[in-house]
Structure 1
Amino acid sequence: MDNPRIIAVEWTTLEGRRPRHAGSNARLGAHGEIVSVPLARLVAEDGTWGFGRCRASLEDARQIVGRRLDDLFSPTAGAKGPGLAFDLPLWDLAARRENRPVYALAARSVGRPAPTAPFQVRCYDTSLYFDDLHLADTQAAAELLAQEAREGYARGHRAFKIKVGRGARHMPLEEGIRRDIAVVHAVRATVGPNCPLMLDANNGYNLNLAKRVLLETRDADIFWLEEAFHEDVVLYRDLREWMAAQGLSVRIADGEGQASPSLLAWAREGVVDVVQYDIFSYGFTRWLALARQLDEWGVYTAPHHYGGHVGNHVSTHLAAAVERFAFVEWDEASTPGLDASAYVVEEGQVHVPAAPGFGLELDLERFAHAVRQGGFTATA
């Protein structure tokens, strides 16, 4: 059956857990150990099905039940119309129906050849949060974060993102800035000179603080500075000019949160080097279209996704369609009922399975139980 109807939508939330408690960032309090993974499973009338992260409502589900797949998904453009609310499940379903990985479909949609197996994508450890706020001593704090980086290195990571901006909310300003700098130096000393380091201030700096931190960590060779302060093209131009005068090659990254509507214009202009719209809220389909523009502009693609677990895996498939894909953000977690064991991080690369769909497996019995306990089902 080439164009089946969707006859059922099942939705629920599974609960996952990180290997350790995640602390604060410049804006927010502790992120904890628990990750929430909302999932929808779409069943077609020929018995094929696909699933993926989804925050659609019961009303959204009723809008697609009974509709044919071609009304909701295009092989060349992705999800469309009411199918956009089920973006990832539709990609998974379409790929499973072809018995191919999503990355093959994504590459085809932009006219690129599918990667040959084994397909690998660069990733970074995103777990270096403010886990040190209970410590009074800056050296002890730096050693704690260095130890966490060491753990990430042992798990296969060779690139690391460090949260900075402790002085924005959680510590006195000067003390927080000094600790940020000490942590960066400690992590660099631990992981060696060849691992890319990124800094993420979550808008916790101003222009002058950003300059100070970059100047005092210049020997750490920072790859990018993310959300240094809320997007402002005047300040970003100033920062670029200053970095050029200082001989710094740090890239400006932004777009994760409530990004300025002008962000893409600034990227096209060359003011912003890395665009980071969230892979879930922006969507896989929209990212495919955007990434083509970013490639044309010479801008890096690096989707954000922290806290959703499966964003680790979804982002790898986008990379197959993007020339200037920078890194997958890797938020280590495990979720009972969701088998992601086919993905392996080794020497800074995610090994992406060539299995159908996103290469994730769903425990249907556990999922059905969770649907009954706190989800919903819509049927034709």
Structure 2
Amino acid sequence: MENPRIAAIEWGLLEGERPRMVGSNARLGAHGSRVRVPLVRLTTEDGIRGFGLCHAVEEQAATLLGRRINDVFDAQHGTAISWQTFDYALWDLAGQRQKQPVYVLAAAMTGIKATEPLRVPCYDTSLYMDDLQIVDDAEAARLIASEAREGYERGHRAFKIKIGRGSRHMPLEQGIQRDIAVVHAVRKEIGPDLPIMLDANNGYNLNIIKHILQETAQDTVFWIEEPFHEDAILYEDLREWLEARQLSILISDGEGVADPHLLEWARIGLVDVVQYDLFSHGFTSWLSTGSQLDRWGARVAPHHYGTHYGNYVGAHLAGAIQNFLYLEWDEATTPGLSAPGYSLQEGQVHVPATPGFGLSLDEAIFSKARDESGFSLRL
């Protein structure tokens, strides 16, 4: 059937578990060990299915029911603006219908030849502030270093460390010194060559960030993320300060409610890496944004956290964006959601060349979630 209608829409919430409790960042308290994965599954009238992360309510889904595929999605433009709540499920459905992985369809849209087999660099995003209950800085630093070692054993070869303890959770000077001690300890644990990223979650100001980067210069920090709230004057100051000290540290930003001028700042080189969220920005929008950033020579590293599902779908953007730098990896296990063919080896995610996003649902577990926490609509 060339242009079938969407005949069924099912939504349910799966819950997963991280390997350990995750602590605070500069702004928020403990993140816990649970992840929540809200999924919608679309079925066309010829029986083909696709699913993806989605926060739609039943009333929104009802407006999609009965629509023909070509009215909501096309290969040249992706998901139509009005239907981007269902963006990931529609991309998966398109891949299933065409028997192609999403990264191949996405690369065709952006005019790039996808590299196969697809291998995507990633980083361990789990090094939160799990040490706040510890009094001694050296002991605290050893804890975070041991967590980096756990990530290394899982296959990671790049690591992002949360800093900003002095922003909220500890006295300012004490928190800054703890941040520095943690960076030193992680560098010692993983060796001299693997990338370390720092993420301040907007918790500090320009002068504090300069101090931390100066004190960790020996640790060769790869990027500083959200050092302070977006400000072109402060970015320019930080850029000049880094260059004067010959510190080749990238500036990354855009994870949260990003300043609308962020893309312009990326164009003129004040920001090196744009990190819009995978889900609030959307897959279709990311393809357009990524193409634009490619033309400017800026790099991208989309943010996602707390969904598990983002580990896999984010990798497909790498096949369609030339300057895709890193995939964020949020380690978790979610009963009902499986990723056959994906693997993490030597710092790279190996992406299977299977239709759609290459993910699968356990029918019994998803149906139970749908019946207990979600909804089901049919023509």
> Do both proteins adopt the same fold according to a TM-score greater than 0.5, normalized to the shorter chain?
yes
Query: In 1, distance between residues paired with 2:71 and 2:83?
Result: 8
**Amino acid of the residue matched to residue 77 of structure 1?**
H
Aligned to 1:357: 356
C-alpha displacement of 1:308: 1.0
C-alpha displacement of 1:100: 1.1
Are residue 320 (structure 1) and residue 341 (structure 2) matched?
Answer: no
Alpha-carbon contact 2:6-2:44 (below 8 Å) kept = yes
Aligned to 1:6: 6
Alpha-carbon contact 2:19-2:331 (below 8 Å) kept = yes
Query: In 2, distance between residues paired with 1:342 and 1:135?
Result: 40
Aligned to 1:16: 16
Aligned to 1:46: 46
Aligned to 1:263: 262
Query: In 1, distance between residues paired with 2:106 and 2:19?
Result: 31
Alpha-carbon contact 1:12-1:371 (below 8 Å) kept = yes
Q: Secondary structure at the match of 2:90?
A: helix
Superposed CA RMSD in Å reads: 0.8
**Amino acid of the residue matched to residue 198 of structure 2?**
L
Aligned to 2:235: 236
C-alpha displacement of 1:81: 3.8
Are residue 86 (structure 1) and residue 97 (structure 2) matched?
Answer: no
C-alpha displacement of 1:269: 1.2
Aligned to 1:59: 59
Are residue 293 (structure 1) and residue 271 (structure 2) matched?
Answer: no
C-alpha displacement of 1:113: 1.6
**Amino acid of the residue matched to residue 104 of structure 1?**
V
Question: Deviations 1:124-156 (Å, cap 9, x if unpaired)?
Answer: 000000000010000000000000000000000
Percent identical: 60
Query: In 2, distance between residues paired with 1:281 and 1:208?
Result: 31
TM-score in terms of structure 2 length: 0.99
Query: In 2, distance between residues paired with 1:262 and 1:113?
Result: 30
Query: In 1, distance between residues paired with 2:50 and 2:82?
Result: 17
**Amino acid of the residue matched to residue 54 of structure 2?**
C
Alignment of 1:7-156 (within 5 A): 7-117=7-117, 119-156=118-155
C-alpha displacement of 1:251: 0.7
C-alpha displacement of 1:319: 0.4
**Amino acid of the residue matched to residue 150 of structure 1?**
R
Which has the larger displacement, 105-114 or 177-186?
105-114
How many residues in Structure 1 have an aligned counterpart in Structure 2?
Answer: 379
Question: Deviations 1:150-179 (Å, cap 9, x if unpaired)?
Answer: 000000000000000000000000010001
C-alpha displacement of 1:341: 4.0
Query: In 1, distance between residues paired with 2:342 and 2:176?
Result: 37
**Amino acid of the residue matched to residue 357 of structure 2?**
F
Alpha-carbon contact 1:83-1:90 (below 8 Å) kept = no
Alpha-carbon contact 2:340-2:358 (below 8 Å) kept = no
Q: Secondary structure at the match of 1:136?
A: coil
Aligned to 1:211: 210
Alignment of 1:275-286 (within 5 A): 275-286=274-285
Aligned to 2:193: 194
C-alpha displacement of 1:204: 0.8
Q: Secondary structure at the match of 1:97?
A: helix
Structure 1 unaligned spans of 5+: none
Query: In 1, distance between residues paired with 2:123 and 2:116?
Result: 23
Question: Deviations 1:44-94 (Å, cap 9, x if unpaired)?
Answer: 000001001011111111111111000010111111043211000000000
C-alpha displacement of 1:364: 1.5
